[in-house]
Structures are given as C-alpha cells and as structure tokens.
Chain A
C-alpha cells in the first residue's frame, strides 16, 4: 500500500513538475508547422489587462498554444478520441478509405446565398456579352463520407441551388469524372494527374477541343497535406505528380512565378507549386494558340492545378481569386472582352464563402 501511494505521488508529481518546469523555463517554437499558424505570444502585462481579466484569458491561450510537446499531446488526444473512444471524428477530421478528410456539413444557406449574389453582381457589372459557365468541384467527401457513415452535404441539392440561382450560367457537371482516388489522401485538393478527363470535359463543354498527352513528373519532396497537421495523426505522405508537355512548357505566366513554381515545392504547402498558389489575378498565356479564345476563370485553389491542362484550348486564361481581390475593382485588372467566363469553385469554398468580396 505504501509503495502504491509512493508511486502514485512520484509518477504524477514528476509528470506535472517536469512539464511545469518546461512551461516556465523551456523554449517553445513561435510557429506551429503542423497547424500552419503562428502560436500565441505572451500577453501584455499592464494594470488594465490584468484588472480587466484580458491577461488571464490571453495567458490561457498562450499556455495552451506553447505547451511542451504540443504536437505529441495533440496526437495522443486524436488517437484516444478516434480509437479508444471510437468517436467518428476529431475536431471534425476523420479517416475513411485511407483518406484524411474533414466534415463538410451542414450546408450553410447564408454562405451559398452570399456566393450566388456575388456572382450575379459580377455578371451584371462586367459580363453583359460573355458566355458564362459554372462548375462545382465536389470535395472528396462526396465519395467517402456518406459511404462510410459520415455526414456530408447533399451534393445534388447543393448544385441544384446554384443552377437555379445562376440561370445565366451553363452548368457543367464534372462529378461523373471524379472519384476518391482523384484526390490526395492527406489534402483537400485533387491530383493533377487524375483530372485530365475533367479538363477535357470542361473544355469540350465550353466548345473547345482538347486532345493532349502529358508526361508525368514526380516531385521529390513528400507532400503532407493540410489535414496531416490538423488531424495530428501519423499517416503516410502523399506524392505530387505534375504534368508537362510542349504546350505547358511554353506557357507564359503573369501574376505567378511559373506554371510549376519549384520554390513552393519545398514550402509548408507544396500544392502551392501550381501557379504559385494563392494569387489575386494570374494570367496564363499560350503562345502556341495566340489566336484562340480567351477564358476568365473565377476560382479557388483547385483551379491552379487544372489550368495548365486547359491552357492548350485557349490563347489566354485569366484566373481571378475573389478572396484576394475585391470584385468592385476587377475591370482594372481583368479584360473580359471576347472571353468566356467560368465560375469554378469547390463546394468547400461555396459553403464558406464570406471571404469572397
């Protein structure tokens, strides 16, 4: 009994004391690689912050953010929750069919309404004479969520809403060309080497022909998608394969460093290698088809990897990301004349669209 008492006090005491000393005197990183965010700084110590309780609130965040072995503890929590307690998800993240994913549920009518109103405003302001298309990229939950007992959007109803609210746009259905294998296991995005059929279907639906062959190139660096850090689970890394051919090699890019920006390949998010990731306006010019049609794409990050595949069919593709440029000043940066316009968005952004202005 005495040994048990001693062991209880010693083990628990040492655990708390060692971590406590680490909290007080140890150094912790300012940035969380796994969560891709800056961690809280030590709060300001003033009479006002202390007397108002602001200091204690901020210290709570600081001490939690800067706790020693944060990622290890986050992993312990994730495994306990998902495997010891058999909970379906941890912070909305789940594992199904080898994929890490996040619940995209429920549909948010405020967000979808915001998106359609914004698109309609753009149409009325800039697109009087343009042929307008719309396509919605389903997130990978369409193929893995409901099938494995997880909550997911009603994708049919979701796209029907946009079709109804945007009667001026011709809807292009692409979900028939997609399945779970077309997405990275650890990330939200689709794999470029798996969406050549989607690109062909899109081009043909917009009246262009696209018969192209590609060479597959494998990126040397492992790709740990956005869900790896968020989930805190140990999973196998993805590999990025990017496609090249003569057309893609000859493309000229404005607003991004290159079609495949190798400086981003080793960054925290290697998917940003596609057209340098998030940029407000990117122009991709195809000198091999200088007389061809032009296309303006209102887009999110999914478009970065499919645009090089579409480029052969157009003389110029302009990508506009409304999260980084306000729609009221588009005419200063985008020439809509003689262009087809494609609204190409993932369900994830449409269901969380307030960042688009």
Chain B
C-alpha cells in the first residue's frame, strides 16, 4: 500500500489510528504489528510470509547470540548468510543468471522471481539488529512481537529510512505520545505527501513524457536530467518525511534521511546529506569493519569502491546501478586525493561541479540500460544528432517551469527559514497544511495509480 493513495489515507490510516488510540499500552506494539502486516499484505499477500520468516531468523539468531555467546560468531555468520541469502535470491538471482548466460553463452532459464516489496530495507534492518546484538551494542529483544513490530513497522517498512534497532529500542517498550508530537507528525506527513504528490509525481510525468517523445533536443535532455534529479529527491525525501511523520504520531523518532543534498559542494558532502540512513548503514557495517580510512591509501580507496559498488547494487539488480555506485566512488576518491582542496576555495564553482555530476549520475541511475545512459549523456552534449531546442521542449519547459522553480527552491533550506522567520506564516500553518492535504487528495482522486519509485529497492 502506498502512503500517497486513497486506500491508505482514507481507509487504512484512520482505522489504525483509532485502533491504536483505544488499545491499552501493553498491546500497542501488537496493534502496530498486525496493522503493519495488513499494510504489507495489501500489495504482496503471499510474500508477507517471507518477511515473517526473516524476522523469525533474526529473532532466533539474536537470542542464540545472547544466550549461547560461545558460538556467537557462528550465529552471526548464519544470520547474515540466511538474511542476505533471501535478499540475493529474491532480488539478484535473475541478474546473476542473465550475466552468467551472457558470459558463457549458455541459456539457463531465468527464475522470474517476484521481488518482495521493501526487502532491501527490512533485510538491512534485521542485519543491523543481529550485528548490533553480536557487538553487544544492544541486548537481544526477548519479545518476538516487539522485534517483529520493529521490522514490520509500516511507516518505514517499504521505503525507509533504514531505522536501526538501537535507535528505537527504548521507544519500542516505552514511548510517549503527546499533542505536540502528533501535531509535528501530522505536519511532517502532509509536507511529505505534498512533496510526493504535488512535485515528485508531476516531475515524474515530465520524465515519462520526455522518454516517450520523438521530438527530443539537447535542451530537452538537460530538462529531463534536472527534472529527474528533482523528481527522485522529492519522491524519496517526501516518502521519508511521511515515514518520519507517521513515526512521530505513533511515538517513534526515526532518523532524518535527507538534509538538503543539492546544496552540497562536493560528492563527499552530498553523500552525507542524501539517503543518510543507507550511507550510515554502509559506513557502520561495511566501510568501518573493512578498516575505513584508518588504513593505507590504496586499501582505503579499495574500501570506498567496495562500499559504493554495494551501494549501487543495493538500488537495483542492473548494471546501471553498479556503474552509478562506482561513478560516485570515483568522484569520492578523486575528491579525497586532490579535488576537495580546490573545491573548498570557491563555493560557486564547487556547487556547479556537484550539481553537474549529480545530474549526470541520475541520468545513469534512471537509464533502462547502459547503452541508453551513454546515449542520453552523449545527447546532453550534442552527440545524438538532435537539435538544440524543439517545439516540444519549449512547450514542456513552459508547462513545468513553475513546478521546477518550486522544486528548486524547495530543495534548499530557504522555505524553512522563511517559515521560521515569519510569525504570520507560522500562525497560518494549520490552515496551510489543511489546504495542502485537500489539494493532495484532489490530485489523488483525479490521478491514476502511481507507484512509488523506491518501492522495488
């Protein structure tokens, strides 16, 4: 089920909120667990079993690690093997078979495995739990309902942020609810909903239009690169805002996932601001265990390449995602070797540098194949035998310019500063949010089903 859908907003959520409100404190996690299973089963009824099996393994290995510590390394290896095994099978097996066939000339049939929604997110959560228990950073959760509620918690189940068990361990058993928290959650949720529906979806339309167009131009390629970069930011950060807002309503505090990444001045900074929960997961569970930056330079660069290879691959079982990850690894290494020193000298130039390379990166990210990525990037620089501008480009530029400008300004801290600095706007907030909710509903009623971009990651 999508947050940005009528069934969620006007059927599921009101029922869950009412049920949650009347449930005694002791049973609130059970209510959340059952609600989350219904939420998950709504889109993937059969695959809910897989999630429950994963949770069971996580629970059992967590308990074994704590109560049979002599073999805790074994339990961790088994936990990682089983949990990653599920991820590899369901997400990557056809990719491996396809590439094996391509290399060997064999034609082993693909397994056509259905990718379970949110498997990358919940696998990483249960992995972090087992690793943290192994490291004794957290005690094993005795109550399986609490652990299952943590993994399946619907606000963050299908699109993150990747909430660490250690971050909400206390709130799982003892959390408070207040009007202030609920109000904050409601505002954050509506803000995210608006980002998703009023900006991301609209820019998504522009990207689809571009892809279907027979009248492309150099300018249209650039317009697409800008639109897609903003689209994916507003889509994903909007979903994270909704998750964080819903978490607040239910008394949880999830980590922030985005911090205005487009104001960065280097790829290093960009990745501190973009998909923070994923970046910090790889940092804490892969990069640092490999030695991080406390090793020789060559080893450190190797570590960076490994981490970003995995980061790219986490996003999807296709070569363009791998190349996308390695592309950032290369940028990070170059920055570490010499570029950061120069970038620090000019804010403007460093910002232009970052935006340029991020735009290119998202063209690679959204390509259906590497040949399409090369073709698009080539065309952005006039290599595709396309005109500089076309009638269609001008039309869509005029049609989307206001949304693009709103998105550009909205991707900076400027609106937040404006709201915080203007008393009048702050007073009007409840009405503004009500209007936003009504307009989002209007877009949903008028629109058709609109899948969330990060659904399959």
Whether A213 sits at the interface, judged by CB under 8 Å, is: no
Interface residues of B in 210-234 (CB under 8 A from A): 214-215
20 A-B pairs besides A2-B179, A16-B13, A67-B441 with CB distance below 8 A are A4-B429, A8-B429, A8-B430, A8-B433, A12-B433, A20-B10, A23-B10, A52-B45, A73-B441, A73-B445, A74-B446, A76-B438, A76-B439, A77-B439, A77-B443, A85-B198, A85-B202, A87-B400, A91-B446, A106-B214
Please indicate the chain B residues that have their CB under 8 angstroms from the CB of A51 in the complex.
45-46
Q: Mark B125-156, 1 if CB is under 8 A from A, else 0.
A: 00000000000000000000000000000000
Task: Give the residues in chain B near A88, CB-CB below 8 Å.
Answer: 395, 398-399
- Nearest-CB distance from B266 to chain A (Å)? 33
Can you list 24 A-B pairs, Cβ within 8 angstroms, ordered by A? A5-B180, A5-B184, A8-B187, A9-B179, A9-B182, A12-B434, A12-B437, A19-B441, A23-B11, A52-B45, A56-B42, A56-B43, A63-B10, A63-B11, A64-B444, A73-B442, A74-B445, A76-B439, A76-B442, A77-B442, A85-B202, A87-B402, A87-B403, A88-B395
Also in contact, A15 and B430, with CB within 8 A (given A6-B179, A64-B6) = no
Contacts of A7 in B (CB 8 A): 430
B395 engages A15 (CB within 8 Å): no
Among A2, A9, A10: residue with most chain B CB under 10 A: A9
In the assembled complex, A181 has its CB within 8 A of some CB on chain B:
no
Q: Give the chain A neighbours of B180 by CB distance below 8 A.
A: 1-2, 5
| CB <8 Å contact, B398 and A149 | yes
**Shortest Cβ distance from residue A90 to the other chain B in the assembled complex, whole angstroms:** 8
Asked if A78 is at the interface of the complex by the 8 Å CB criterion, the answer is yes
Task: Quote the shortest CB–CB distance from B401 to chain A (angstroms).
Answer: 8
Chain B residues numbered 109-128 whose CB sits less than 8 Å from any CB in chain A: none
**B437 is contacted by which of A15, A67, A106 (Cβ under 8 Å)?**
A15
Question: Is B175 engaged at the interface, CB distance under 8 Å to the other chain?
Answer: no
Q: Tell me whether B373 is interfacial, beta carbon within 8 Å.
A: no
Instruction: Indicate if B1 sits at the interface (CB-CB under 8 A).
Output: yes
A side interface size, CB within 8 A: 50
* Residue on A nearest B7 in the bound complex, by CB: A63
Q: What sequence of 0s and 1s flags, for each residue 184-214 of chain B, a beta carbon within 8 Å of any chain A beta carbon?
A: 1011001000000010001000000000001
For B412-445 the 0/1 string (1 means CB < 8 A from A) is 0000000000000011011101100111011111
B-side contacts of A80, CB under 8 Å: 439, 442-443
**Contact string, A103-121, partner B, CB cutoff 8 A, digits 1/0?**
0001000000000000000
Q: Does B14 belong to the interface (CB within 8 Å)?
A: yes
The distance from the CB of B174 to the nearest CB of chain A, in whole angstroms, is 23
Binding site for A on B (CB under 8 A): 1, 5-7, 9-11, 13-14, 42-46, 179-180, 182-184, 186-187, 190, 198, 202, 214-215, 391-392, 395, 398-403, 406, 426-427, 429-431, 433-434, 437-439, 441-449
Task: Report if A150 contacts B (CB, 8 A).
Answer: yes
B44 contacts across to A, CB distance below 8 A: 53
Chain A residues with CB under 8 Å of chain B are: 1-2, 4-13, 15-17, 19-20, 23-24, 50-53, 56-57, 59-61, 63-64, 67, 70, 73-78, 80, 85-89, 91, 106, 149-151, 232
C-alpha spacing A120/B180, complex, angstroms? 73
Q: Which of B399, B403, B431, B448 has the most CB of A within 10 A?
A: B399
For B11, the chain A residues whose CB sits under 8 A away are 20, 23-24, 63
Q: Which of these, B7, B186, B214, B401, contacts A60 with CB under 8 Å?
A: B7
Contact across chains for A16 and B449 when beta carbons are under 8 A apart = no
Residues of B within 8 A of A8 (CB): 183, 186-187, 429-430, 433
Complex Cα distance, B7 from A19, in Å, reads 12
Contacts of B9 in A (CB 8 A): 16
- Taking the nearest CB of chain B, how far is it from the CB of A75, in angstroms? 8
Contact of B427 among A4, A13, A53, A87 (CB under 8 A): A4
A74 and B442 in contact (CB under 8 A), knowing A11-B434, A16-B10, A88-B399? yes
Given that A77-B443, A151-B395 are known contacts, is A60 also in contact with B434, CB under 8 Å in the complex?
Answer: no
Check B10–A12 contact: CB distance below 8 A: no
* Complex contact B445–A67 (CB within 8 A): yes
A60 touches B449 (CB 8 A): yes
Query: Chain A's nearest CB lies how many Å from the CB of B122?
Result: 19
Bound CA span A326–B369, Å:
43
Q: Which of A15, A70, A87, A91 contacts B399 (CB 8 A)?
A: A87
Q: Are A9 and B186 within 8 A (Cβ)?
A: yes
A151 with B186: CB separation less than 8 A: no
Q: List A contacts of B182 (CB < 8 A).
A: 5, 9
The minimal Cβ–Cβ distance linking B55 to chain A, given in whole angstroms, is 21
Known: A24-B11, A151-B395. A4 touches B183 (CB 8 A): yes
Q: How far is the CA of A357 from the CA of B73 in the complex (A)?
A: 70
Bound-state CA distance A318–B399 (Å) is: 45
Give chain A residues whose Cβ lies under 8 Å from the Cβ of B434. 11-12, 15
Which residue from chain A places its CB closest to the CB of B215 in the assembled complex? A106
- CB proximity of B342 to chain A, nearest CB, Å: 40
Contact B402 A232 (CB under 8 A): no
- Bound together, the chains give a CA A61 to CA B450 distance in angstroms of 11
Q: Which of B402, B437, B446 has the most CB of A within 10 A?
A: B446
